[in-house]
Structure 1
Amino acid sequence: MSPVRFVALGDSLTQGVGDPTVDGWRGWAALLADGLGTGPGTSARFTNLAVSGAQTRDVLEQQLPVALALRPELAAVVVGVNDTLRRTFDIHAVAARLDRVYGALAGQGAVLLTACLPDPGGVLGLPGALARPLARRQQAVNTVVHALSERYGAVHLHAAEGAWVTDRALWSADRLHPGERGHRHLALRFHALLAEAGLAPGAAPSPEPQSPLPTRAANLRWLATAGTGWVLRRCTDLLPNLLALAADEVRHRARGTGAHLDLRAGAAVSAALAAVAVPERRTRRGEAAQPA
């Protein structure tokens, strides 16, 4: 029996940022691939197409054609956080792109792996007026991912909340990407779901890191060099818009009309999902549906 062909699409999370090795970033998808072998010492035929900074447009236009050419039996699509960090965020466009990506891969017979993720403002510990607009955006993306994952029978991981989000031992110095322990945590949870569905014959990844935890000095050096550049590249576009969103948040809270912002966001998500054509319903794998 030949090894399963596993392809991963997405952004820096799936690329493996936060889990360095001598050969570069590794990450949860590569760790998971080692547990998908058909026998002792084997692993999946794994290709990681994820790129740091990728948005849903990048996955659709650049990563999907390569993935389809590889004809994977298992395809991970975890993306959307970078969309929420852009001035041009549009949940209608996000829903349409994800529907096309999921549909194309599922149409070839691939089993999809998807996940809902924590909002970056909460993970970073931003003040409420700044954090709430980002949380609202990430909740919108998660709601879309939940709905489309059910539609296409994806193996779906609920990772938007829980103890792992606030456990600093699982996160890297930038507080936006898991460290090695966090990537192993995600790989283990995905492996458990796949094993439950009879799709992971290999051993589960080890939860224990192979590399020593970076020292505080090493974390500070990273933040002062590569980390600072990573943040600045994203904040240049987002910051003016986020400040405007925060000001709107403060005005609504002062008037006692904060719920209107939630209602507006919910209506936008409903409209976005309604605009996506509903194919024939498929049997869903993975965890039971939960509200985003």
Structure 2
Amino acid sequence: MDVTSGRAPGTMELVALGDSLTEGVGDPHGRRLHGWIHHLTQPPAPWRLSANLARTGARAAHVRREQLATAVALAPAVATCVVGVNDVLDRRFDAGRFAVEYEALVGGLREAAHVGVLAMTLHDLSEGLPLTRRARTSLRSRTAAANKVIEEVAGAHGAWLLEAREAVAFRGAGMLSVDRLHPNRRGHRYLAACAAEVLRGEGRVQHTAGPPAADPLGLRLRATGGHLRWLARHLAGSPR
């Protein structure tokens, strides 16, 4: 073990692509964001985060156009690709168009990342949002269509798949942030634990920490305040 970094020798480079979830919205740390990708790559994990290219509001087409070339140029060992939320929040969502963009995105990453690519399905986005029954049904239908694409493309390219559909309900488990869409700090750490478990199953990680315990009340209140301030500065009330 490297005593200066806490990492094992031969630490591999990881590049993250995607939207606000991977950027870390919901897990503020001062004026910065942490998020699940930060927690996943902390020592003694065998990955070093060389770049987090994820940006709030990104859709699959944006990730392909604005992030893919940079990720390919970095030639990482591992790439993570988590996208689709902003696509399905749009009522004009076109599953066929999403499939074209997602196929090109994952295919390009799979060729560039010499160890592997980690993808993630979408959880039930409607569970925390104030929607009518009709709107909730429609959003769930679009989410299911996107998940079908994600599952098929990941399988075709041999990408590792984190099944967020099988994760616990964020709202019921106290892991949803105050914007009712993103995970809070505990939720992000939970996603990191789920991702680590997928990598452990693939023989890429030896040990995982397991799901995180609930934070103390004071820490939860401070995190909520930090997230509200972040929302006020960056999102201006626009859903992402």
What secondary structure, in the 3-state scheme, does the structure 2 residue paired with 1:44 have? Answer: strand
1:80 corresponds, among 80, 84, 98, to 84
Report the CA distance shift for 1:206/1:216 in structure 2 as closer, same or farther (over 3 A): closer
Question: Unaligned stretches of 5+ in structure 2?
Answer: 1-8
- TM-superposed deviation, 1:198: 1.5
Q: TM-score when scaled to structure 2? A: 0.84
Q: Is the 8 A contact 2:30 2:226 kept in 1?
A: no
1:9-41 C-alpha deviation (Å, 9 max, x unpaired): 000001000001125111001110115634xxx
Determine the C-alpha separation between the residues in 2 that align with 1:79 and 1:36: 27
What secondary structure, in the 3-state scheme, does the structure 2 residue paired with 1:165 have? Answer: coil
Determine the C-alpha separation between the residues in 2 that align with 1:106 and 1:216: 36
Specify the alignment match of 2:232 in structure 1. 225
Report the CA distance shift for 1:6/1:183 in structure 2 as closer, same or farther (over 3 A): same
Determine the C-alpha separation between the residues in 2 that align with 1:53 and 1:62: 12
Aligned-residue CA RMSD (Å)? 2.8
- TM-superposed deviation, 1:89: 1.9
2:154 corresponds, among 126, 149, 166, to 149
Q: Is the 8 A contact 1:19 1:183 kept in 2?
A: yes
Q: TM-score when scaled to structure 1? A: 0.70
Specify the alignment match of 2:55 in structure 1. 51
Report the CA distance shift for 1:221/1:44 in structure 2 as closer, same or farther (over 3 A): closer
Q: Is the 8 A contact 2:28 2:230 kept in 1?
A: no
Q: Is the 8 A contact 2:24 2:36 kept in 1?
A: yes
- TM-superposed deviation, 1:178: 0.2
Count of equivalent residues: 229
Deviates more, 1:120-129 or 1:218-227: 218-227
1:189 corresponds, among 194, 201, 215, to 194
Report the CA distance shift for 1:44/1:75 in structure 2 as closer, same or farther (over 3 A): same
Identity %: 32
Q: Is the 8 A contact 2:27 2:223 kept in 1?
A: no
Detail structure 1 runs of 4+ shifted over 4 Å in the superposition. Answer: 208-211, 219-224
Question: Unaligned stretches of 5+ in structure 1?
Answer: 235-292
Correspondence 1:91 to 2:95: yes
1:20 corresponds, among 28, 41, 45, to 28
The residue type paired with residue 73 of structure 1 is A
What secondary structure, in the 3-state scheme, does the structure 2 residue paired with 1:164 have? Answer: coil
Determine the C-alpha separation between the residues in 2 that align with 1:136 and 1:106: 28
The residue type paired with residue 4 of structure 1 is M
Determine the C-alpha separation between the residues in 2 that align with 1:2 and 1:48: 20
What secondary structure, in the 3-state scheme, does the structure 1 residue paired with 2:154 have? Answer: helix
Specify the alignment match of 1:172 in structure 2. 177
What secondary structure, in the 3-state scheme, does the structure 1 residue paired with 2:198 have? Answer: helix
Correspondence 1:105 to 2:109: yes
Q: Is the 8 A contact 1:35 1:191 kept in 2?
A: no
Bigger share in helix:
1
Matches within 5 A, 1:115-134: 115-134=120-139
